[in-house]
Structure 1
Amino acid sequence: MKMSKLKKALALVVAATISATLLVGCGDDSKSGSNEQVLTYNLGADSKTLDPALNTAVDGGIVIVNAFEGLCRTDEKDKAIEGGAKSWTISDDGLTYTFNLREDAKWSNGDAVTAHDYEYAWKRVLNPETGAEYAYQMYYIEGAEAYNTGEGSVDAVGVKAIDDYTLEVKLHSPTSYFLELTAFPCYFPVNKKVVEADSEWATKVDTYVSNGPFKMSEWNMKDSLVFVKNDNYYNKEEVKLDKLVMKMVLDETSAYASFQSGDFDMIESVPSSQIEAGLADGTFVKYPNLGTYFLVVNVNGDNASDDVKKVLSDSKVRKALNLAIDRESIVKNITKGGQIPAHSYVPEGIPSNDGEDFASKEYFNPSGDVKEAQALLAEAGYENGQGFPTITLLYNQEGDHGSVMQAIADMWKKNLGINVSLSQQEWKVFQTTRTQKKYQIARHGWSGDYVDPMTFLEMWTSSSALNDAGFSNAEYDELISEAISEMDATKREELLHKAEDILMDEMPAIPLYYYTKVKGIKPYVKDVQVSQLGFVYFDKAYIDGK
């Protein structure tokens, strides 16, 4: 899932399969004498969309996982547990899942949540007219890819409501993490009646009908989202917060000031200049985060001049740019959040079948190799940067991305003799620009959707809507396809390693560091669950001792 900000100070997963659950709290109305449990949390972003089918960013995902619920939820180790489904059975061949839904599950408007809502929602994601970038995440389902790519019928998609409370799902090959996928936002149900009545349903309070622990009560544009306990939620007795206020303050210094003054009880990201002191005195908490911060290169040079298109399409140039970056310096002097300098695209933190980490291979020296970078650039025809056109490095303006991008531009100038123009855009605009490939090189970040290398590698297939680089390699596509169908764990891992070998040789993505997540948390905030996949869950949170 796309990471919106560097300032999230995200970087490596030190504990691969654990999500951190920490006591995090809430600002209440104690000043007015109220006993109401209110938590004010700065999301730090104005989300592009809150539609479970269309969202691809972590910020929007945090909102959605607190308003909606899938067939499964995930526990502190990101393993599937019962959610909208109270039980399920899996056929002996691992291809057919039968989910038994809770009969007491309701939408926030009082409608019953049925298996038909799930069938409708999943097929809506796959409908090519919906334009869901995450449609590929459902390609494990029989007939899903064919329907999404216009080569098959919706009737052939292997999801069917047997009755109101029984959902049958057929996969084309066994998928060990399929239950975890059903806890991911694009697999969440939506209320068919509401969605079909208003195409803008996800932009209005009155029509933002959800089935999770919280329901929306206010939407103050560019300021805040306010959620209250969903009294129609089947597990409402376990929800302790009466109100969850999600603020949209983009500037981290301003958000930090509000945190210090007590106006915010928790902030999603913190100023890098404050991280060392905040971690030392306990003001901040560092969580594992399974993700990689990287640069993405528009390898086809769309919308660029011929000379820029020529350099971007050359893998020798891309590898030279990669080796001219000193990642150790970036994490030490700029990000300062305990991030790990990258040496691969798949981040550390995913267990391998042999007991090692999947990311055990070092594709390049994290500190760079200037001599080799210069040699590669000379081989490409640009010795000492002569004749190399000025390239534009694009980033979103929120957070400290600008500091990182400036450092990279300086390294490329010093080490390769090339000129870089920096350009910034607001987060919503930036996402669209990058998706439409109207850039040359841009910052990017990806947080895993589940704990498996596939969540990082599948996005670079030729057909993936999340492939912002425009990268296309037939052998890579075949390796990913084979890995999806391979039942032998060792052989599957070998296929995925070979795929990453190609990715790191072609270098459409230039990894910079592995995320960690540093958040500001008041000591009176309890039982907020922070997942290594980037989500923050407030369904068990409460305030004690403010």
Structure 2
Amino acid sequence: MSFRVLAPLLIVIVLLLAAGAAVRQARLPPADFVFGNETEVQSLDPAVTSGQPEGRIIWSVYECLCNRSAKDQSATPGVAESWDISEDGRTYTWKLRKDARWSNGEPVTAHDFAYSFQRFLDPMTAAKYAQAMWYVKGAERYNQGAAALKVGDRVEVVLPEPPKGALPHARGVVLHGVLTGIERDPEYEGQELSEEDFGKRHGLVIEIDGAERRFRQEGSSMPRDAYELCRQVLLDFAEVGVRVEDDHTLVTELNEPTPYWPELMGFYPMAPVNKTCVETYGWPTWTYPENIVGNGAYNVEFRRIRDRIRLRKSDTYWNKDAVRLEVIDALCVDSLTTAFNMYETGQLDWLTKAPPLITRELLKQEPPRDDLCLATQLGTYFYSINLTRKPFDDVRVRRALMLALNRQQIVETACAGERPARSITPPGLPGYDPPQCPPHDVEEARRLLAEAGFPGGAGFPRIEILYNTEESHRTIAELVRKQWQTALGIEVRTRNEEWGTYLNSTHQLQFDICRRAWIGDYLDPNTFLDMWVTGGGNNETGFSNAEYDRLILEAGQETDAEKRFGLLAEAERILMDQAPILPIYYYNSRNLVRPYVRGFYNNLQDSHPLQDIWIDREAQGPNEYMRGCVK
């Protein structure tokens, strides 16, 4: 049969399939509340995610020791009904509520949090936010693996196979001993090795039950006949400041007083995971809707890739009587324009981010819309530079790119009320005045580029700006491309990737320059600054500066607020001078929320817990919590 004959038949089949899909979609029972969650979530594993779309779902499916107030993001009781702080501010004793339950009916205990924190810190988990736990005694060394060990340390040796009779994806057999020697592969003597390479080029001598044994980690070059194989060797977790006193009492011991520790304990990567679920199904299968076990206000009923995640109110949640929405749909809509059209046609109750250009037009409407909510947000939009690639290892090149940015043009063209940024830390945090990078200066940018060996852009390699798929990111990337080409005479192209691929590319440093953003995890400048330390999980630039690391470390140990902010300001000055990142603008939140939605408050982190939201269908006026928010 010829293609001409087949073609009409194929078209009919495609149309029938599309019609069938539409019918199936129409038959889906409606949710009580529907919102656009922007992009497809990367994962529902709290330990490995880092984006706002993931956070909205994870905060609903899991509950941390603390919750965060919908009004001001302060710490409120979660699984921990109360907590005590020692006089020196270093020890927190968490009292867990006895009626907290997993969705499978099992009680949530202090052992679940200890297990989850250990998993979070395990180097093999590769948690991007692991550094947030480094405030805990011994947590940094545990997270850094074998490279952080010293002779005399108590260690744990994880063997490749799980214990006999254990669940199929359980951790391997764990041996405990004392490190008595570190032996290096002679071929690599005198060479500087990364943390990852350390385990591959060293053997470890460990005394276990009075006898010395030699171990090599998986992938090691050490001779097989002389060393036993193990998965990894870590600092003994008993040396980490996480202690279970009983089923409902957990203790965390910190290196230094950390006043925002309760807020951090309400951050979604700190959520507990169910050990039985994780070890029965393994990663990532344990996160699938048919397997996942949570302890939050909602359960995942189903997930349709590139469509929606449906959440249903949990019958086992301790505070279920206060949860007023039965079914919630979180839609995956990459295009902000499409999402806005869905909102305008009544398909969404909440749009998390109105498109900038459309927002401008909405602000001109008379009378003013009562569903448009613009508010200051603790966030910065910026570009990261990959310092591991030439010519970006030259600070003059990076500073030239920084000086050639016309931020005012960007915000006037692609934004809606946002302010140009010249620091990574947004203004507005009481007591902290962030140091700024230099203003737009094309002549100085050209001079620096010439000094670096590229006069007029001659000889400069073609570079690429990476961004995740979204109209506003594309608009900004095109503006920056034209600015750099015009001002510096260099060739620039752009590349977009869907969210999951983009996250992998940035994590693996597979880019020249990439679009990034950071929303503060807590109300302190440290949340914007400690991520740039050497080897930080969210650094993703290759930037490393010993003085910067020292200042961040000292700030973490300083109890005087004024001195502490001074140390952080010194660190930010280095960051702006060295230019591994290029601040572009400070965020405003741009929510569109139906007037009948209740429990929605403006806050600096633009975080809106779904369990606090409810619907008042009889309401005629604007949401009382949103009045006066349009600026």
TM-score (norm 1): 0.88
Alignment partner, residue 230 of structure 2: none
Query: SS in structure 2 opposite 1:312?
Result: coil
Give 1:414 deviation, angstroms. Answer: 1.1
Indicate the residue corresponding to 2:451 in structure 1: 379
Counterpart position of 1:261: 345
Q: Are 1:339 and 2:418 an aligned pair?
A: yes
Aligned pair partner of 2:469 in 363, 378, 397: 397
1:220 equivalent to 2:220? Answer no
1:177 to 243, 260, 266: 260
CA shift for structure 1 position 362 = 3.2
Gaps of 5+ in 1: 1-30, 302-308
In 2: Cα distance, 1:278 partner to 1:61 partner: 28
CA gap 1:134/1:175 in 2 versus in 1, 3 angstroms:
same
Q: Distance in 2 between matches of 1:379 and 1:285?
A: 47
SS at 2:566 equivalent: helix
State the Cα deviation string for residues 491-543 of structure 1 (Å, max 9, x = none): 11111111111111110000001111102211121212454224321112111
Residue 364 of structure 1 and its aligned partner are, at CA, apart by 2.0
Tell me if structure 2 keeps the 8 A contact 1:49–1:202. Answer: no
Between Structure 1 and Structure 2, whose CA radius of gyration is higher?
A: 2
CA deviation digits over 1:174-210, x for unaligned, max 9?
A: 1111111100012111111111111134531122211
5 Å matches for 1:527-546?
A: 527-529=599-601, 531-545=603-617
CA–CA distance in 2 between the matches of 1:391 and 1:111?
A: 53
SS at match of 2:456: helix
Structure-2 separation of matches of 1:414 and 1:283: 40
How far residue 72 of structure 1 moved from its aligned partner, in angstroms, is 1.0
Report what 1:160 is aligned to: 243
Candidates 75, 80, 91, aligned match of 2:86: 91
Q: Does the CA-based 8 Å contact 1:37-1:543 persist in structure 2?
A: no
Alignment of 1:230-269 (within 5 A): 230-269=314-353
| Per-residue CA distance 1:415-462 (angstroms, 9 max, x = gap) | 111110111111110110011001111111111111111111111111
Equivalent residue for 1:324? 404
> Alignment length, in residue pairs?
498
Gaps of 5+ in 2: 1-25, 150-234, 619-631
Alignment check: 8 A CA contact 1:146 1:153 kept: no
Most deviating of 383-392 and 439-448: 383-392
SS at 2:73 equivalent:
coil
- Provide the secondary structure at the position in 1 that maps to 2:471: coil
CA positional deviation for 1:37? 7.1
- Could you tell me how far apart the structure 2 residues matched to 1:488 and 1:258 are? 50
Task: Please state whether the residue corresponding to 1:56 is helix, strand or coil.
Answer: coil
Q: Does 2:66 align with 1:72?
A: yes
- What's 1:102 paired with? 97
Q: Taking structure 1 as reference, are residues 299 and 58 closer, same or farther at Cα in structure 2, changes over 3 Å only?
A: same
Does the Cα contact within 8 Å between 2:372 and 2:590 map onto a contact in 1?
A: yes
Q: Distance in 2 between matches of 1:349 and 1:448?
A: 12
Match of 1:272? 356
- Whether contact under 8 Å (2:436, 2:576) holds in the other structure is no
> 1:399 deviation in Å?
3.4
After superposing the two structures, state which structure 1 stretch, 78-87 or 137-146, moved more: 78-87
Distance 1:454 1:142, change over 3 A: same
Q: Out of 29, 37, 40, which is 2:34 matched to?
A: 40
Q: Does 1:116 align with 2:200?
A: no
- Distance in 2, matches of 1:287 and 1:238, equals 27
Taking the TM superposition and a 5 Å limit, the aligned residue runs for 1:99-498 are 99-150=94-145, 151=149, 152-199=235-282, 200-279=284-363, 280-301=368-389, 309=390, 311-336=391-416, 338-352=417-431, 357-359=432-434, 361-365=435-439, 368-498=440-570
Give the conservation status (yes or no) of the 8 Å contact 2:436–2:573. no
**How far does residue 384 in structure 1 lie from its aligned partner after superposition?**
1.7
CA apart distance, 1:239 = 0.7
Distance across 2 between alignment mates of 1:453 and 1:344: 11
User: Could you say which structure has the greater relative contact order, defined with CA pairs below 8 angstroms and 6 or more residues apart?
Assistant: 1
User: 2:33 corresponds to which letter in structure 1?
Assistant: L
Which residue matches 1:55?
Answer: 49
Q: SS at 2:563's partner residue?
A: helix
Distance 1:208 1:269 in 2: 29
Stretch of structure 1 that moved more, 423-432 or 268-277: 268-277
| Post-superposition offset of 1:391 | 0.9
**Is the CA contact (8 Å cut-off) linking 1:344 and 1:364 kept in structure 2?**
no
RMSD in angstroms over aligned alpha carbons?
Answer: 1.7
Q: Work out whether residues 72 and 183 of structure 1, in 8 Å CA contact, stay in contact via their aligned partners in 2.
A: yes
Write the distance in 1 (CA, Å) between the matches of 2:94 and 2:469: 44
Percent identity, aligned pairs only, is 38
1:20 aligned residue: none
With structure 2 as the length reference, what TM-score do the two structures score?
Answer: 0.77
SS in 2 for 1:516: strand
The residue aligned with 1:513 is 585
What is the alpha-carbon distance in structure 1 between the residues aligned to residue 138 and residue 271 of structure 2? Answer: 19
1:13-32 per-position Cα deviation (integer Å, ceiling 9, x unaligned): xxxxxxxxxxxxxxxxxx99
Question: Which one-letter code corresponds to 1:411 in the other structure?
Answer: Q
Correspondence for 1:501 among 573, 591, 598: 573
